[in-house]
Structure 1
């Protein structure tokens, strides 16, 4: 019988992780969780000031962190950030593709500009960042990409047609990239996140009727806490997931099981 402590499989000491949308909500919780698992976390956000503030807060808690300004809808900026990060840290081990936006409108009145904003960030931004990161990871022979998708990759949602479409696309991007890159040492997986207490669900949580109706479909009976996503991200980023490729892991309080 092996005497190796299985907890070592989740140790990310010495790894470098870039987390997008890391200044608040799920991204902030994930960045903190990866740092606690031992990784040096590169906090990426559209606002350099917010990213630097978040990195400083993580370091104050004893983590290793740094900050970069990154708008994922600008591929040239992503290319520069990845090159700079790789040079500074001698590679990149983990990308958490978390940056995302949502726009709520009835489908029949959904504005074209709102549609494009959601798709540009959640699909184009996520893919082109994964593509650039994939090139780097393929060259070094290893790497982990974790895309933050949604339970709406499986089902529709009221007034969020663009968001649902974008998360369905991200799930398929995950599977396609895993099919191409698994045998070359790069793991690509996704998390189908349920309804968490973040800015994206603020409108839902502020509406008692809608909140009750939604939670009636969640077996856990409540919104998730951002830190409850951390375990799944650490798992997919670690040696514990060495034979996991192209998975869409539900962290949703049982939503997809009901």
Structure 2
């Protein structure tokens, strides 16, 4: 119930109570529209009231279908307020509805990771609407470029941008919220398919496809996610924010695997089990997991110079001044 306090003012300047109420409602309405009207939001539920909720806040990228959607549903069931992300509004709203139907709390944010400006808008909207973030799961990914795309609008090889660079940018932009939400966790959903990054040809201008089921663009982007996790773990030491990478399961029954013409070998549930282990268990920071255990990644992940090169390249590609 809204309480109106009567102030003693000259009668010539005294506004009718009804007009005061109308002005307050209009101002409130303008604030709400400003919080949700931009393309990066497309929210299916209320945003920005996490400070009023005593519940952790989680962002799962690429969570409108497949592994991401299943992880989002599980997090909603655990009591997280889940920010569902993807490109398809209808699928995103369906996931939100499923979470809410089970008594959970969720909303949808739209952003196409093929455009770094959309990633920036997504980060800006979350920074604007939330005071903290407790969990960031960098899951969105593609297996190969669609429609023969060779470069994104940002001039980057598409698979490298969607799977790695967009998440690098998003993580950088959301670090203050993660530190405010500490203890907080970052999880990079990587893969057992890993290829060393050729820093003389990161955009693969001289690479020729060899017809293998898992191409070099995908394998190098997934190793980049692991280098990112190892590098960030050192940077985030003593901040209360941890970061790990994992291979969730081999050839899960997902759109990406089916689109590649690969016969699925595992289920989405199996992959979600592996991700949730890094959400709930005490697993430390700066590790690569496979089969629910820390494993050794491709050799380049342990090369400090390679990690430095990737960090500097990434900062240059996102246009960071420092």
Q: TM-score, with normalisation over the residues of structure 1?
A: 0.75
Aligned to 1:94: 135
Structure number having the greater helix percentage: 1
Relative contact order higher in (CA < 8 Å, ≥ 6 apart): 1
- The answer to whether structure 1 residue 60 and structure 2 residue 101 are counterparts is yes
Residue deviations 1:49-88 (CA, integer Å, cap 9, x gap): 3312221122123221111112234444334433433554
How many angstroms apart in 2 are the aligned matches of 1:111 and 1:46? Answer: 17
Q: Where does residue 8 of structure 1 map in the other structure?
A: none
- Of stretches 84-93 and 23-32 in structure 1, the one that deviates more from structure 2 is 84-93
Whichever structure has more strand as a proportion of its residues is 1
- Residues 91 and 104 of structure 1, relative CA distance in 2, 3 Å threshold: closer
Q: Which of the numbers 154, 168, 176 marks the counterpart of 2:231?
A: 176
Alignment partner of 1:153: what SS? coil
Shift in alpha-carbon separation, 1:72–1:162, aligned structure 2, 3 A: same
Instruction: Find the residue that maps to 2:112 and give its secondary structure.
Output: coil
Q: How many residues align?
A: 221
Aligned-pair distance for 1:47?
Answer: 2.5
RMSD: 2.9
Q: Which has the larger radius of gyration?
A: 2
What CA distance in whole angstroms lies between the structure 1 residues aligned with 2:276 and 2:127? 21
* Alignment CA distance shift 1:38-1:121 (3 Å): same
In structure 1, stretches of 5+ residues that fail to align are: 1-12, 212-221
- Report if the CA contact (8 A) 1:42-1:67 is conserved: yes
Show the 5 A alignment for 1:1-258: 14-103=55-144, 112-113=150-151, 116-153=157-194, 158-193=213-248, 194-203=250-259, 206=261, 211=263, 223-238=265-280, 240-241=281-282, 244-251=284-291
Q: Normalising by the residue count of structure 2, what TM-score does the alignment of the two structures yield?
A: 0.61
**Match in the other structure for 2:15:** none
Structure 1 residue matching 2:220: 3-state secondary structure? helix
- Give, in angstroms, the shift of residue 16 of structure 1: 0.8
- 5+ residue gaps, structure 2: 1-53, 197-209, 297-322
C-alpha change, 1:231 and 1:158, in structure 2 (3 Å) is: closer
1:111 & 1:63 partners in 2: Cα distance?
Answer: 38
